[in-house]
Amino acid sequence: MSGSDTLDELDRKIVVALQSAGRASWTEIAELCGTSVTTVARRGQQLLKDGTVRVAVTPHINHAGATEMYLLRITCAPGTQSRVCAKLAVRSDVRFLALVTGPWDIIAELNLRRDESLHTRIVEDILAIDGVLRCDTDLTLHVYKVSHDWSRQLLTGEPGPVVNDAHECDPSHFDPADLKIIDWMREDGRASFRAVADALGVNESTVRRRFETLQRRGCVHVTTHVPARALGFESEIVIYVTVAPRRLEAVARELSQYRGVRYVGALLGTNSLMCEVILPTTQDVYTFTTGTLAGLDGVQGWTASMILVTVRRGFVETPWWRDAIADPAR
């Protein structure tokens, strides 16, 4: 199955369970899905094998030192968008990367340590990529919402929890053994503790204890990635909302409560808020913009871009993006 195919009801239930708890056992997932362990394990393993779903473990954004997040809006020369995406996709400092419609071709989130030079990164790295014509850079001031389990909210109607990077992680919370465990589990977030222990030459109990401690403290995140279209959702949109300064905080928090909103962040530039929305149909987008967004006190206007392909999310490259657009290596 390719990432563009629509999943059936059982597959959707499995995805919902994995987005809620990416490392849940097949037995636990089978109980949630109301079917046999054998069936769920077979279906789930196939989804992972096909690249329709990817479970990954990633460290907190400040694991290597205090950082700032920048939103990059990139304009490319005609016909070079895929090649530029391929160059950006392998960068460890890019948290989010997508090909979009609108005045820009690509949007990305750049994670930069505070002791690093933004000028060097933008001018010497990003703008030096063949095909990049322009890079508009904006500082992310505050993140109000990051929702990793959006499918549960949208498919079941349950109000999912708002997940923020509230924990102030820093390099002292990790030692070399912790980083080795994370690096090994970055590619396969469902790898057993025994498999990780065997690969690293340590005890299984050591891996389990270290990982569970990091997860409990908020130093690592287990995330499950799946293309929205595979779950039947037609519209993934990034909306840049202009808000009256006095109402910025209130509007951000109101938007965060809406179950179709996956991300809300405050930007330094004139578009005060960046809001990522995922909705089933165009009619739902119409209802959201005219009934929800337009009705919020303080909203002065907005511009929007549709996400064509998500290349990277949560510092993890999606397994389906190269099949979704032309391979630049061909």
Residue 151 binned pLDDT confidence (cut-offs 50, 70, 90)? low
Q: What is the CB-side half-sphere exposure of residue 216 using CA atoms within 13 A?
A: 6
Q: Does domain 9-56 have CATH number 1.10.8.350?
A: no
Residue type, 326: A
pLDDT for residue 241 is more than 70 = yes
pLDDT for residue 327 is more than 70 = no
Residue 304 CB coordination number (10 Å): 17
Contact between 296 and 290 (Cβ < 8 Å): no
- Give every CB contact of residue 46 below 8 A, 6+ residues apart in sequence: 1
pLDDT for residue 37 is more than 70 = yes
The overall longest dimension of the chain from CA atoms, in Å, is 58
- Residue 17 has phi, psi (to 5 degrees) of -65, -40
Q: What 3-state class would DSSP assign to 67?
A: strand
Question: What is the model's pLDDT at position 173?
Answer: 85
Question: What is the model's pLDDT at position 35?
Answer: 92
Domain borders along the chain are 9-56
pLDDT tens digits for 278-314?
A: 988 899 999 999 999 999 999 999 999 999 999 999 8
Provide the whole-model pTM: 0.87
Q: Tokens at residue 95, please?
A: 């948290």
b (16+ CB within 10 A) / e for 162-182? eeeeeeebeeebbeeebebbb
b (16+ CB within 10 A) / e for 90-107? ebebbbbbbbbeeebbbb
b (16+ CB within 10 A) / e for 129-139? bebbeebebbe
Residue 3 binned pLDDT confidence (cut-offs 50, 70, 90)? very low
Average pLDDT over residues 170-176: 86
DSSP letter for 303, please. E
